[in-house]
A and B are shown apart, each in its own frame.
Chain A
Amino acid sequence: MNEIIYIFKSGRLARKDNTIYFENDGERKFIPVENTKEIHIFGEITLNKDVLEFLSQKEIILHFYNYYEYYVGSFYPREHYNSGYITVSQARHYLDTNLRVSLAKKFVFGSISNMEKVVRYYNNRGVNLENILANLRNLKDNLDSIVDIPTLLALEGKSREIYYDSFNEILKDSQFFMDKRTRRPPKDSINALISFGNSLMYTTILSQIYKTHLDPRIGYLHESNFRSFSLNLDVSEIFKPIIVDRVIFSLVNRGVIGVDFFDKRLNGIYLSENGAKEFVKAFDERLNSTISHKTLGRNVSYRTLIRLELYKIEKHIIGENVYEPFISEW
């Protein structure tokens, strides 16, 4: 079982012989390098090249977040799944507009379909969301006619706007009312939760991409040119509704996270350290929960499911199977 480590405290990450430890106030906590594949760092830490070299050797990714819990960047060790063939195929699907649009559409299709699943779940439980469902269905039907990325992105944005309208109905606590989606900085608690959850989703998917032959720098829906990683953003669209948003609903509706779990910093509202810890805990539990996989014939965790999704994309770009996004059954 691979462990994911989240560090909230400030301190020092250091190497000791063939292991690493985190030191804080003179207290040392050793990190099991053989089982750890990713470390998320929220605290202020210092580290040296010796640690990075060792982490690289053990193929462990570090994800860094800043004071506002925004994703800053990753230490992405030298690739270990190198296939020039896959990289070239991946680039070919980016450079050819038709190939790019048809793959990008699949991400949007998956995204809207999973939003529908979430909305329908609550609709079936007495929250009237028929209107939103109809609008989402309508947008999904319009996907077919789209031939360029900007129109596709606009439709994706529109679908999310419609979808977020359901949040005020689904969340029972009126203190989590959302006026509109705000980023950088989030203006209210619900936006803070969405931003934080989405950041975690991006890094989680990046960690899985590292375990495949795909290059995270080449995305299809999101522009590859202006940022370092974009494939993880594409794939996130599919998983955000069923992982991030479901975690949010569960934390708020069960009263695990209340308004006292937020801090006001620099005009915005952010999760406090305790809030972030609660979120990470629920998020990790969600990723480790399993569902039955038909063709594999066994149960897989959502984390593994993400890797399987990436394999499907690999098979699409090498021309073996047409990619169909994962759509939740419930």
Chain B
Amino acid sequence: MVDNIKVSGTLIESYLICKRQAWFHLHKIIPFQDHPFLEIGRLIDETTYERDLKRINLESVQIDFIKTKEGEIVVGEIKKSSKSKDIAKMQLLYYLKVLKDLGVPSKGILSFPTERRREFVELTTEDEEKLKRIVKEIENLSNESFPPPLEKIPFCKNCAYKEFCFS
């Protein structure tokens, strides 16, 4: 049982990738930290966007970087690859929603430094409704006694929980 959960951005991402992974996160069963992809992620985080404000903790979310552009606040999310762009986008939109709820309207920038690509995103009412539904579902998931059963999906291949799930 998890009480008073605060939904973080990574939790939104996890939930959309694999509900089982989200359940683990909710129970603080963190993935194997020596996994090469996690190490790559940490390296990208350390070496990119050095000039901008980095890793901002706001309420429950941790934002990769924030900068201002022509008087507007731009929130950035850094990803290793654009493979699951739609999921990364939802994560970023969630930050925009949290900021909006705090009275700080902002725009988002999705960044893939290793691909030298980026994309701007804006929050719509439709997105907000969708995010509200996802948060509710995550809250329900946190009350589940057992993790959702193992289901082999393409994400398993590079997942840092793979050894846990398949042991």
CB within 8 Å of B: which residues of A? 2, 80-86, 211, 213, 295-297, 304, 307-309, 311-312, 314-315, 318-320
Contacts and interface: CB of A to CB of B under 8 A. Distances in A.
B27 to A, nearest CB: 4
A211 B19 CA distance: 23
Interface of B: 2, 27-30, 32-34, 145-147, 162-164, 166-167
A296 B32 CA distance: 15
A327 to B, nearest CB: 15
B145 A312 contact: no
A311 B147 CA distance: 14
B166 A81 contact: no
Nearest to B1: A85
A311 B146 contact: no
Contacts, number: 50
A295 B2 CA distance: 30
A308 B165 CA distance: 9
Q: Interface SS of chain A: helix, strand, loop or mixed? A: loop
Contact of A318 (B32, B146, B166, B167): B146
Nearest to A86: B29
A271 to B, nearest CB: 31
A297 B166 CA distance: 9
Contact of A320 (B28, B32, B34, B146): B146
Contacts of B29: 83, 85-86, 213, 314
A320 B166 contact: no
Given A80-B33, A211-B34, A309 B167 contact: yes
Given A80-B33, A319-B145, A319-B146, A311 B28 contact: no
Nearest to B28: A83
B30 A295 contact: no
A236 to B, nearest CB: 18
B162 to A, nearest CB: 7
Query: Which 10 pairs of residues, A with B, have the shortest CB-CB distance?
Result: A308-B167, A83-B28, A311-B167, A85-B27, A295-B166, A296-B166, A311-B164, A83-B29, A312-B167, A213-B29
Most buried by A among B30, B32, B166, B167: B167
